[in-house]
Structure 1
Amino acid sequence: MTIQEIVLSSNIVVSLLPSSYGNKVKISPDIIPYSKEGYTIIDERRDLIKLTAINYIQSLEEVPYPEIPVTASDSEKSLILLNLQWLSPRMHLNTWIDNTLVDVLSLLTPKPYPYSNIELRDFSFYDEIIYASITDVGYGYLTADDSIVIIGEFIRHIWIEKEENLTVAFNNISTSLQSIATAISELQLNITVPDGTGGGNGDTGGGDSGSDENNNTGDDDFMPLSIKTSDYTITSNGERIACFTENGDFTITLPANPARGWEVEIIFLAGGNGYNIPVDLNGKNLLRLDEGGGYSLDIESIKLTNENRGGKLIYSDPNWEFYPNSSTSNGVDINLSFSITLVP
């Protein structure tokens, strides 16, 4: 089965207000379980990305931006900014995965500006919950004039697999039955038919040596007809193909590596708009009875038409043969069951 990925994306907006004092506020959205008829959910991963905290804190003391000497080294500049961030009047913005603290950011007042933006880390998770909280570190908590708004993008990656329907199940059963039928056919090729001279079971010893009391002539059509409307390659012994040309010509290809005694049947169904069914011999030759009663290998191609409705072919190794052929007692030339083109 093929596994598909479904990607669902939405935006989030979460506010941290004075009323949330001392509490964690969930920033990962509530999940509605995903479902799709005929599919099974295999796995799901969730991402919170492009998270930004918009800082509207006005209650803290304004912090003047430090003057950094032109001659200051990089390490000195870093220390000045670090002291500004962590030694100034501030609040802490904490982010959590479930009950585990994973990050702490310093929140200074944006004064004299109305707000400032602070980037947060991305989160990739499964069933966990992502929280945020504000901590008072000695300079006060959010007042009525303060707020922190967290925005970002929430993405769900969902992997699904199509469930096997009844049609597929029936096809699998059909394939298994076809394999069993093929095995039975191959076993039958090794059975010696009695010569009819015995007297058991009320048999008088006369009659057709290949017939039984149920008038079974040995022509075991043990497989049902399989309807085909497009190109198809026969792969098993005993396949019976019924061709319906509702959409145009298509080709039936004989097995690539048949064994001696393999039998296939190809039939042209009426009502198919008059199209033809070419039969690809797949690199093999086809014997026919010529006018002199001998066998010839002069067939270039064969096909089924409205007038030539097809029939059975038997592989005699290394050639295919029509079955039955014109040597049968009724004298009918079975070659006419197929439209034949001879080698020029």
Structure 2
Amino acid sequence: MKSASAIITAYNYDIQKYMEGQRLSTKVKKSLLDQLEKAITEAGESFYKLFPRNTKRTEVLDSIMYLLSGNGICKIESKTLANKVGCSVRTVYTAVRHLKESGLVLVAGLADGQNKYVFVLKSHANFKQIMHEVFFIDDLSEIEAVENGKSGENVPAAVSSIDQNAEPIAEQVAGHIAGLENAETVGIQGVEGTNPSFNLISLNINKQENKIYIQNAIENELAETTDHQKELEQINTYYTNDLQFKLYNELKYGQYHQQLKQNASILGLRIGSNCTPKSYIQTLQAVIKINKFLIAGGVVRESIPALFTRIYQDIRRVCEVKKQKPKVREPKERTRTLPFYDWLNE
């Protein structure tokens, strides 16, 4: 049990178990923001006073709530949030302080990392289980005791030295972080919803060309994304198979070469929505081959996705040949029979 006067912290490995394979959703994020607005209003405060429209403080809130829309827990560094939104660390702290005061989110810290927030959604179905398995807290009154303690007690060191009573400057921004609205289906509507210029109906091409066109468009979009949150939004839009998410998380958080990590979203897309446990094993075989090649100093003349597809198809082809190749059966020994001759009667 943790002491009530201690900072609530958790270790990276315990947190990561809950974050792997999660599916973030813009729809869930919007619902969480609505809950937050309702809670602040019922407490007699103006939501838009704390989180003014079109400000970076609101973008910070938007980023946090999106990360919580999956399994109800996330971890992120204060500087990462600031860089993501393009604001000061002070702005991040102010947004987190208002979020914490709403009572909907537990704000903790990472025990084995530098200056990282850990956010837990109290209304999530996993909350009690997270408290038990991640923070090792069974008595939830301990959380209330810590949260009612000194202001800024569980704020990471990077922001704890900031004047906590200072009000940040409300920096104007062009708009909020754009979210992909459809997080469940993949196809023409998904691409059109992301970019209206994709009017595939007007294209006089066959179905195969359509498929290639969409695939290339999505891959180009994934390749151009440098923002991790935006990448998560995209894969939640385009992935429809749990094994696609599994491969993405395996590459992103596993011990793989940096080039594989950078192409994780595209490789997850390439294994397809019809990926099976058997073909997933073949996928890992291809990934391991590429990883060994890169670690040995190999230079990929083609793109990583193209190399992956070629090796993956070769592995599948070999497996199919082995499966279809008839087994060679040894010929049975044939015993020679002699005709019966009744020499006694003869």
* TM-score range normalised by the length of the shorter chain: under 0.3
- TM-score if structure 1 supplies the norm length? 0.20
Instruction: Report the structure number with the largest CA radius of gyration.
Output: 1
* Structure showing the higher helix proportion among its residues: 2
- TM-score if structure 2 supplies the norm length? 0.19
* Structure showing the higher strand proportion among its residues: 1
